[in-house]
């Protein structure tokens, strides 16, 4: 049974978060911080972001997977 979470590139995740009002805050090494004034989230800037990491990001910012997929 496969995971419903996709393996995505960081720029795809950042683009979807931007549509929800998240803006760049800072970066240290390969980890960029984004905020919407209420939630803060760290997006790893690697070739791809693992499924579990994407799941963690969505939990942190309280966005359902279906809603996130519509933003892609």
Q: Which residues of the chain register pLDDT less than 50?
A: 1
- Asked, for residue 59, whether it belongs to a domain, the answer is yes
Q: How many domains does the chain have?
A: 1
Residue 5 lies in a domain: no
Q: What is the pTM of this model?
A: 0.92
The domain that holds 54 is classified in CATH as 3.30.920.30
Do the domain assignments include residue 39?
yes
In a domain, residue 60? The reply is yes
Residue 46 domain flag: yes
Give the pLDDT of residue 52. Answer: 94
The residues that bridge with 35 in the sheet, in sequence order, are 23, 40
Other beta carbons within 10 angstroms of residue 22's beta carbon come to 22
The torsion region of residue 66 among left (phi > 0), alpha (psi -120 to 50) and beta comes to: alpha
**Which residues pair with residue 28 across a beta bridge?**
31
Q: Does a structural domain hold residue 2? A: no
pLDDT of residue 68: 96
Question: Residue 38: its pLDDT value, please?
Answer: 95
Domain that holds residue 23: 10-71
pLDDT in tens, 8-25: 999 999 999 999 999 999
pLDDT at position 2: 58
- Please check whether residue 22 lies inside any domain of the structure: yes
């Amino acid at each position: 049974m496969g995971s419903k979470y996709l393996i995505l590139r960081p720029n795809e995740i950042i683009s979807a978060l931007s549509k929800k009002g998240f803006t760049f805050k800072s970066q240290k090494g390969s980890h960029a911080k984004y905020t919407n004034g209420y939630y803060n989230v760290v997006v790893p800037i690697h070739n791809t972001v693992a499924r579990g990491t994407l799941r963690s990001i969505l939990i942190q910012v309280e966005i359902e997977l279906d809603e996130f997929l519509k933003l892609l």
